[in-house]
Structure 1
């Protein structure tokens, strides 16, 4: 049986009426279970033969006619093959690398019993539930209280509470969500035009209410009250703090979100805007009339509504928030996105989105040659057809960045697939009011910088990276701003970075320009390798760590106008790192320190010491680095895959007596080492190793697989260091640890520690200098430069 909205040409027909629109009021009818929706696809003959199923395959048209003529089946629509591929059959499971095969899919309703019968009767057909998707936005309250095994509250006991919510200046706030948590089932209500909302809590008394959280639609911080003293006889007043009251000059003066600053976007030189890249946001639409989005989003498609332009209406605000983080205009007011110069395409599938809508949206992304897709959605159920579509997207060069999920459990689907980049959320103390609802997600441990893994974020070995996902400030419909939590708020940070890398990283102008799976894998590898580890005691909560913009772009920013400013910023932060480590003290006059005399080698690098040592192999196996090279090489070429040192020869052969170290395994012997050492590498998960480049990770890795901290020296009073900072250095000038490759130069004699009274010297073995080497390499300030030129 076929519904009236089905197309006659076998393609995607006009969509049914908006699922969010309520039917007009009529007479009552009994409440019955909703019909189940399924996706049905015909398996290919090769798949049937491989599985030993001795039946003839159905073609797409035969499958459609079969279901049309079944009185127990209601066909809704057919998802046609993407325009980028010829119509053909294919398996619903993940396709082989480079494959673009994907079967047409029939979306139909039937009973579970009938679906089971079809599976038994038609082994050449794949049938799966077309399940609903959910936003990966943190719910309030995020903590789940333990309740009695009986979830139903006892009858006869109830309490009704009325809340009056006011904002800045005492104005009533409509549209705010009031959430109560008690001993039984949570309760929710939305404020009306007068700012009032009434919540009836079954099985509760005022004394059993544990928490009240009020989340405004926009313009204000949320509020949270633990153990509230509530009244059932009068209004319970809650006043919210305006965003403009805590963000200086906002929104009249532009601000970058704390997450963008944490990832280093504020240190990126001007001119890196993501031009030439297309980002798709599969979400709830986007408010294209918002001041920060006006003119930034010019194309889209509505897959759940009845209007072609419905993608420009964002009822929930979820898609607009994501769009703001990625691509808000850099115009001096409001906020700015990661890639204000990129093209943005909106695929609206919420409210009411299902697996079939996601499949259809990904098909549009493939057809439109989108570069990056932001997926702030998920499900507790898996879908072989969705997994196959994502694999098809990867084969077409479309990179999917996916939220880990928000229920605090294992990573949700499709974030648990190996073909996507999965993002967990982190928060940071001091980026939101202590009395806000964002504080409910705080849990220990905390890093010294104040980072924490929020209660809601899903975790597991599938997590690739983490990104800011608590109190993220971005656009809200129609023309306002809101602070939101969730792994879906973390996803646009990484999707924006991915667009920056594709637009500006040298690799995608040369070796990885072709739209295929290797392009996506290389992009994910660069992002993972750029991460600064966040140690919260559980690597499954943070993956490789927090991506860094400058490290991800690497030498691509060498020679830009912002290079000198970046160098001074690094110098300032170096002083802070030294002070925090207790290795320097502020004094009103230049303080005596120590320095090591550096010998400048013909390779325009710092001289080091030929040391005998051992480079530990990586526990997950090794990928070869660059065994040797003649002539000038950049800092990127130092590092092999999986955090191992790829030996090199800058500006000619290595010095006499210094052997070249291979990238993997363990080898004793002299190694040429010079300058600041790299930071330790992270052991990669199996998911990350599967996507590792066979030539090693040229972007950024560590030099030790066993986590041993490398050493580094500061050469001869580095220029740019404030004279008032005297270094409490090591008297004899620590040499680098065993097996560490240096930044540049031909090996020379060891530095000798001599007294120095300029207050800017000192040679020490602390992580601050390893950090500086990493930052300078990422900023393109290390390769081919003399030490005394780095901070000019």
Structure 2
């Protein structure tokens, strides 16, 4: 393990640059630790433990993700690496409000995440969890963080759009069934929350990193990590990192946004421009779980996002004592078991039809009450009152008229 001073950090954030939203801490919640590029004699052998940990090969006997598009909301994906060739569609560059027409720089981080999701394994290369899925690359950040101050949303007037909120809506409207967000920031912005709701309502599965603040001074002091968004939004599948033994990685954030865990330590991934790197972080775990979600949506395209989350969280391996904790959630994802549970959940119905005439008890039913209607007596009383009133009014008018004529 390299010392922190020698690690390269690829920081992901919930906008084109990491945003300072008036919080008392810097929103670098999803900083990934990328080791120096490694020469791997056999990348298949190096990633074997990852596929075994997720029970991927058994899941591939059912589906390999064909027909599903996964949006990678990250830095730009290099579509030229062998594992991703012919699989990537480039979305709009949303890193900033102003577009200068130039293509975004190819991102180490985004390319690595895309390869973990949909790497084809071509020519003995790296295989993603959904090797037949397609990738929609939507750049919202750079590999190197850029800090800038933005005004926080005070909730008055229309929400201030962010690169992430635009990316979520674009991905939803352009065919993505799963959105992978290996990024995060501390500020829960209203525009992002509304965009999350927009995607979920349309059946899109959202997967996000919980962050890498587990070993920060604040986490050690308070016994828990600051929440990262969008992982902290309701309906988003928050993913934490585990090591080869299925244990919580010390750097991975721990809080109630964690739903499940996945490998996130020394995981091989494709590098932009070719070759491979070993990368670690909750971002890595997020991409792997997004690949599993793509397998589920490929087999059961109509399954709602909340049921996909249930399939993932109720079939895990290595569940903690008490079934849940804030470090790895409900446990490490099992792709094959999640697929099987998803099949069971397709029979789930939100309501059960009730046959007419059923009632509690075995006795005879009580006669239905008479439907309300007009009361004849009251109608006569009201009518007589109106007639008398009009007659009195007429008499009064006649009397007053005659008096005025006499005068």
- The alignment status of 1:493 with 2:314, answered yes or no, reads no
Shift of 1:523: 1.4
Tell me which of 278, 297, 308 is aligned to 2:69: 278
Tell me which of 256, 261, 276 is aligned to 1:481: 276
Contact 1:257–1:473 (CA<8 Å) still a contact in 2?
no
Contact 2:72–2:181 (CA<8 Å) still a contact in 1?
yes
Shift of 1:553: 1.5
- The alignment status of 1:405 with 2:299, answered yes or no, reads no
Corresponding residue of 1:729: none
- The alignment status of 1:300 with 2:97, answered yes or no, reads no
| TM-score using structure 2 length | 0.67
Tell me which of 454, 465, 483 is aligned to 2:260: 465
Contact 2:210–2:231 (CA<8 Å) still a contact in 1?
yes
| TM-score using structure 1 length | 0.36
Contact 2:46–2:268 (CA<8 Å) still a contact in 1?
no
Contact 1:473–1:481 (CA<8 Å) still a contact in 2?
yes
Say how many residue pairs are matched: 306
- The alignment status of 1:521 with 2:306, answered yes or no, reads yes
More helix as a share of residues: 2
Shift of 1:346: 0.5
Corresponding residue of 1:566: none
Query: Any idea what SS the aligned residue of 2:132 has?
Result: coil
Shift of 1:268: 3.2
- The alignment status of 1:331 with 2:225, answered yes or no, reads no
For residues 542 and 502 of structure 1, the distance between their equivalents in structure 2, rounded to whole angstroms, comes to 23
Corresponding residue of 2:335: 549
- For structure 2, list consecutive stretches of 5 or more residues without a partner in the other structure: 1-15, 151-160, 215-224, 353-407
Shift of 1:350: 1.0
Contact 1:373–1:495 (CA<8 Å) still a contact in 2?
yes
Corresponding residue of 2:363: none
- The alignment status of 1:540 with 2:333, answered yes or no, reads no
Shift of 1:421: 0.7
- The alignment status of 1:421 with 2:227, answered yes or no, reads no
User: Cα RMSD over matched residues?
Assistant: 3.2
Query: Any idea what SS the aligned residue of 2:270 has?
Result: strand
Residues 293, 332 of structure 1: CA spacing in aligned structure 2 closer, same or farther, 3 A cutoff? same
Tell me which of 95, 118, 134 is aligned to 1:343: 134
For residues 411 and 376 of structure 1, the distance between their equivalents in structure 2, rounded to whole angstroms, comes to 14
Contact 1:254–1:333 (CA<8 Å) still a contact in 2?
no
Larger Rg: 2
Tell me which of 348, 357, 361 is aligned to 2:167: 361
Contact 2:320–2:330 (CA<8 Å) still a contact in 1?
no
Give a deviation string over 1:458-502, Cα, whole Å, max 9, x none. 112221111111111111111011111111010011100000001
Question: Which structure 1 residue ranges, 4+ long, deviate > 6 Å from structure 2?
Answer: none
For residues 300 and 257 of structure 1, the distance between their equivalents in structure 2, rounded to whole angstroms, comes to 32
Give a deviation string over 1:476-531, Cα, whole Å, max 9, x none. 111011111111010011100000001114xx4xxx36xxxxx1111111111221
- For structure 1, list consecutive stretches of 5 or more residues without a partner in the other structure: 1-18, 21-35, 39-111, 113-128, 141-214, 221-241, 245-249, 429-449, 514-518, 558-635, 641-691, 697-792
Shift of 1:134: 4.4
Contact 2:246–2:332 (CA<8 Å) still a contact in 1?
no
- 1:661-740 pair list within 5 angstroms: none
- Structure with more contact order per residue of length (Cα contacts < 8 Å, sep ≥ 6): 2
Corresponding residue of 2:55: 264
- 1:101-500 pair list within 5 angstroms: 134=28, 136-139=30-33, 215-216=35-36, 218=37, 220=38, 242-244=39-41, 250-251=42-43, 256-270=47-61, 272-304=63-95, 306=99, 308=101, 310-311=103-104, 313-315=105-107, 317-351=108-142, 352=146, 356-408=162-214, 409-428=225-244, 450-500=245-295
